[in-house]
């Protein structure tokens, strides 16, 4: 209560930290300090790189709908000799995940292409049957023009006489571009093409956006090398997915059978790849919470080390800190413990130095009194040794609130809300809140 009534007695201390034990000493002290960059820039950059890798891992874990476990107790800062091990583990894990993800995306793209090709062959088969009905009209216009159901080489003499051969281009075009695609073919080829198209019953994934989209299957029939080049350029202009068209019924059947086998194999491999990816992510999720906390503490420690200055020998770090008189013994013990963990031959130590500077105000609070102290600090922090009014607001603030809402209904609602906050204070969602209204 004395600490709440007035600020803690403070003193200015000077720390002498050996370079080899400075990291461990500061890890035993307070890691939550302001951010600066001085002599330990490379170490801070390594921590930022590890934070980037951890951010990528968290993103992939959330994308796979894997829960992220959280520990009740924050892990301590890692020892200096363990930092390299953590960095190597994260780099190895990132490389493995990126390789698995890249292979998975490649398999999915190949599977999508084979599925598109299968759909095209199924739909264009109906086009061929429909075109056969107009075969008599084609024969009337072009004499011995070969049937679209037979191979183009069925009548070589006729093709040489016409100076061209029948060609086909099949593929998929986006539903929003099919009308413009049809007009462009008609105008550019001057009507010397036959376009058949039909909408697919199912939606297929767009490889560029990853969204399910409606597609149209088209089959362009033409003859002549110049028309062939024009048709292919137009298909490329409208970002059509073009696939080779079989020239005979037997070839079409062989292609369909081969596609069915390859699709089944790709689905099996893709399923195993996804299972392995999930196993790797589940294993990483077990340690992700510890790694995130440890990297944050490492980065904070190096930022604090950047605040220190070197002595003339560049072997000892010197820092001046404000410390409560009651915690001087704890500070000495922390320096001794850090020196012991680092194995330094010379222990780090501290000295109190006299000063005429006004010390900062430190008022210790708990989870009950911190709310009232925050209300007082919102208006201004008292000077060193000034009486702290937060002790009186514990009584005056609820009283004034009752004056403003002096009825049983509001009081009951406030009581229920406060009771729920107390009962669920350790809930993970409340712990992750940013204190926003």
Which domains are assigned to the chain? 34-120+248-306 (1.20.1460), 151-247 (3.30.70.2750)
d(CA 123, CA 18): 78
Angstrom distance (rounded) from CA 350 to CA 333? 11
Q: What is the pLDDT along the chain (437 residues), one digit of tens a residue?
A: 446 666 666 766 766 666 566 666 666 554 444 444 356 677 888 888 999 999 999 999 998 888 888 777 778 888 777 888 888 999 999 999 999 999 999 999 999 999 999 988 888 887 766 555 544 454 445 444 444 444 444 444 444 444 456 788 899 998 889 899 999 988 888 878 888 888 888 888 877 777 788 899 999 888 878 888 899 999 999 989 999 888 788 888 899 899 999 999 999 999 999 999 999 999 988 888 889 888 888 888 877 777 777 766 667 777 777 788 888 888 888 888 877 877 777 777 778 888 788 888 888 888 888 888 888 888 888 888 788 888 888 788 777 777 776 677 777 887 888 888 888 877 766 666 655 44
Instruction: Please give the helix or strand (H or E) that residue 3 lies within, else none.
Output: helix 2-5
Q: What is the pTM of this model?
A: 0.60
Main-chain dihedrals φ then ψ at residue 15, nearest 5 degrees: -100, 135
Query: What span, in angstroms and rounded, lies between the C-alpha atoms of 370 and 368?
Result: 6
Q: Which of 369-373's residues contact partners 24+ apart within 8 Å by CB, and which partners?
A: 369/4, 369/394, 372/397
Contacts of 47-53 with CB under 8 Å at 24 or more apart are 47/295, 47/298, 47/299, 47/302, 48/299, 49/87, 50/86, 50/87, 50/90, 50/291, 50/295, 50/298, 51/295, 51/296, 51/299, 53/90, 53/91, 53/93, 53/94
Lookup result for tokens 């809300």: 417
Say how many Å lie between the first and final Cα of the chain, rounded: 31
What is the rounded CA–CA span in Å between residue 102 and residue 352? 59
Q: Which of 331, 312, 340, 317 is nearest to 17 (CA)?
A: 317
- Residues comprising the chain, all counted: 437
Q: What is d(CA 316, CA 219) in angstroms, rounded to the nearest whole number?
A: 79
Contact call for residues 13 and 353 (beta carbons, < 8 A)? yes
Sequence-distant (6+) residues with CB within 8 A of 384 are 7, 10, 358, 359, 360, 361
Sheet with 10-18, side-by-side order of all strands: 309-310, 316-324, 10-18, 349-353
pLDDT of residue 425: 78
Assigned token pair, 252: 């079409």
């Amino acid at each position: 209560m004395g600490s709440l009534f007035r600020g803690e007695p403070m003193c200015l201390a000077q720390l002498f930290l050996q370079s080899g034990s400075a990291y461990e000493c500061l890890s035993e002290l307070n890691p939550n300090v302001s951010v600066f960059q001085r002599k330990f820039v490379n170490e801070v950059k390594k921590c930022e790189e590890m934070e980037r890798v951890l951010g990528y891992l968290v993103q992939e874990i959330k994308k796979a709908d894997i829960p992220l476990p959280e520990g009740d107790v924050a892990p301590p800062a890692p020892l200096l000799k363990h930092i390299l091990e953590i960095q190597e583990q994260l780099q190895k894990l990132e490389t493995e995940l990126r390789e698995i993800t890249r292979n998975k995306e490649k398999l999915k793209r190949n599977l999508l292409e084979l599925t598109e090709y299968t759909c095209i062959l199924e739909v264009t088969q109906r086009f061929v049957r429909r075109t056969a009905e107009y075969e008599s009209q084609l024969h009337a216009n072009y004499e011995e023009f070969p049937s679209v159901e037979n191979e183009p080489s069925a009548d070589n003499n006729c093709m040489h006489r016409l100076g061209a051969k029948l060609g086909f281009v099949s593929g998929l075009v986006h539903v929003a571009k099919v009308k413009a695609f049809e007009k462009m073919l008609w105008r550019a080829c001057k009507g010397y093409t036959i376009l058949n198209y039909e909408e697919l019953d199912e939606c297929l994934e767009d490889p560029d956006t990853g969204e399910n989209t409606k597609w149209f299957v088209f089959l362009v029939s033409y003859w002549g090398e110049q028309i062939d080049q024009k048709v292919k350029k137009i298909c490329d202009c409208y970002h059509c997915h073009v696939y080779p068209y079989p020239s005979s019924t037997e070839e079409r059947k062989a292609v369909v059978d081969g596609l069915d086998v390859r699709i089944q194999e790709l689905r099996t491999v893709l399923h195993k790849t996804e299972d392995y990816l999930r196993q790797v992510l589940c294993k990483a999720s077990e340690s992700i919470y510890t790694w995130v906390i440890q990297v944050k503490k490492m980065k904070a420690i190096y930022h604090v080390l950047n605040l220190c200055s070197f002595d003339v020998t560049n072997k000892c770090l010197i820092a001046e800190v404000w410390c409560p008189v009651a915690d001087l013994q704890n500070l000495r013990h922390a320096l001794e413990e850090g020196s012991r963990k680092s194995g330094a031959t010379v222990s780090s130590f501290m000295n109190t130095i006299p000063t005429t500077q006004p010390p900062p105000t430190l008022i210790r609070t708990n989870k009950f009194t911190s709310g009232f102290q925050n209300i007082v600090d919102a208006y201004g922090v008292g000077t060193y040794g000034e009486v702290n009014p937060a002790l009186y607001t514990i009584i005056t603030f609820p009283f004034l609130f009752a004056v403003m809402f002096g009825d049983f209904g509001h009081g009951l609602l406030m009581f229920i809300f406060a009771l729920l906050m107390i009962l669920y204070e350790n809930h993970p969602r409340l712990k992750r809140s940013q204190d926003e209204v």
